[in-house]
Amino acid sequence: MSENRIQLAHGSGGQLSRELIEGLFLEYFGNPILDELEDAAVFHPPNSLRRGLETGDLQLAVSTDSYVITPPFFSGGDIGKLAVCGTVNDLAMRGAQPLYMSVGFILEEGLPLRDLERIVRSMAQIAAQVGLEIVAGDTKVVNRGGADRIFINTAGIGLVPAGVELSARKVEVGDAVLVSGTLGDHGMAIMIQREGLAFESELKSDCAPLNGLVAQLLAAAPRTHCLRDPTRGGLATALNEIARQAGLGIEIQEMSIPVRNEVRAACELLGLDPLYVANEGKLVAAVAADGAPLAMAAMRDHPLGKEAAIIGSVTEEHPGRVVVRTPLGVRRILDMLVGEQLPRIC
């Protein structure tokens, strides 16, 4: 039965999401811009409308995301903060300066207005902080039971400075693979809250806007080739996407991957793998090997990159595959997420 119906895993960011994207969306919507499947689309506006303009400089970046997280308020943020950070981060992963955003609210009849106000206030705060202007909006209300409290959709528009080109296609053999900090904080903070687990130290979502960190990274290491934010599907899925799109292999050292003790403990308890858990304030970078030390220094010098780490490198071997080397020296393949462990995590 479920074969011909939408399953939760179609929204996981993993294998079934990919099948839906490739088998349906690209089939009907495909074009050279969309087909790249990066965090944000980057393209030049068409020549016909830029009569007399020197056009080499101007590249638009566009991204969109819907946010359906439950609960809408969580330790370290809320659905509004998440929506703005997610939009900023998708643009930042292409090196774009985030400039404009549209916001669409789908509200369930009966939602307390004070909840909506709290969410709107936190959106406004992050937007002001990163210099993002909300230029267009829409609100729909559905009957009680027709939606779960609040969904937010955003589209982000940014401009990519001349000379900046970040893409999985730029990744090269020998590139160092870096992460900007500990993994799994967002997903496990939500899960701990949902499951009512008590841990001694309160784990918070890492939800944060990464545009400042990216600017600092690109200034220090201009040969940064590709950035991704490992949201749904976690680090494992982001690395698999890069490997697949680059047509190269990635090998990472399990010992080098920073994971908080609370995240590790909660994952063990719930039977989850932190490498598949969503992050909302972290990035993965592929940087030319000789630029890696400067990239590390630049990230660690930023409040959001203090726990940055080099976790592996890009290889010619096993193209399209990600391999993890364990502390005992065993190599295992790290697949894309299959199924859905954490529905409605973002």
What is the per-residue binding string for a copy of itself in 157-176, x denoting contact by CB under 8 A? Answer: x-x-xx--------------
Local structure of 141: helix, strand or coil: strand
Please give the size of the binding site for a copy of itself, defined by CB under 8 A: 89
Q: Is 49 a residue that touches a copy of itself (CB under 8 A)?
A: yes
Least distance between a copy of itself and beta carbon 135 (Å) = 4
Residues 182-241 that bind a copy of itself (CB under 8 A): none
Least distance between a copy of itself and beta carbon 14 (Å) = 12
Nearer to a copy of itself, 50 or 331 (CB): 50
Nearer to a copy of itself, 9 or 92 (CB): 9
Nearer to a copy of itself, 33 or 338 (CB): 33
Q: Give the distance from CA 214 to its chain's centroid.
A: 13
Q: Is 24 a residue that touches a copy of itself (CB under 8 A)?
A: yes
Q: Is 40 a residue that touches a copy of itself (CB under 8 A)?
A: yes
Query: What DSSP line would sit under 271-287, residue for residue?
Result: T--GGGS--SS--EEEE
Q: Is 22 a residue that touches a copy of itself (CB under 8 A)?
A: no
Q: Tokens for 329, please give them.
A: 């020296």
Edge-first strand order for the sheet with 59-67 is 41-43, 59-67, 150-160, 97-108, 133-142
Residue 282 and residue 229 in contact, taking contact as beta carbons nearer than 8 Å: yes
The alpha carbons of the chain give a radius of gyration, in whole angstroms, of 20
Please give the C-alpha separations between residue 197 and each of 50, 70, 158, 316, in angstroms, as whole numbers. Answer: 57, 16, 40, 43
Residues 107-126 that bind a copy of itself (CB under 8 A): 107-114, 116-117, 120-121, 123-124
Cα separation, 99 vs 127, whole angstroms:
9
Cα separation, 236 vs 259, whole angstroms:
14
Binding-site member from 44, 60, 73, 320 for a copy of itself (CB under 8 A): 60
Nearer to a copy of itself, 140 or 306 (CB): 140
User: For a copy of itself, which stretch binds (CB under 8 A), given 92-100, 177-185, 272-280, 302-310?
Assistant: 92-100
Residues 124-143 that bind a copy of itself (CB under 8 A): 124, 127, 133-143
**Tokens 């659905």 sit on residue:** 79
Residue 263 CB partners (closer than 8 Å, separation 6+): 182, 183, 184, 185, 188, 203, 274, 277
Binding-site member from 44, 75, 102, 199 for a copy of itself (CB under 8 A): 102
Nearer to a copy of itself, 62 or 295 (CB): 62
Nearer to a copy of itself, 3 or 316 (CB): 3
Burial 334-345 (b: 16+ CB within 10 A, else e): bebbeebbbeeb
Nearer to a copy of itself, 40 or 314 (CB): 40
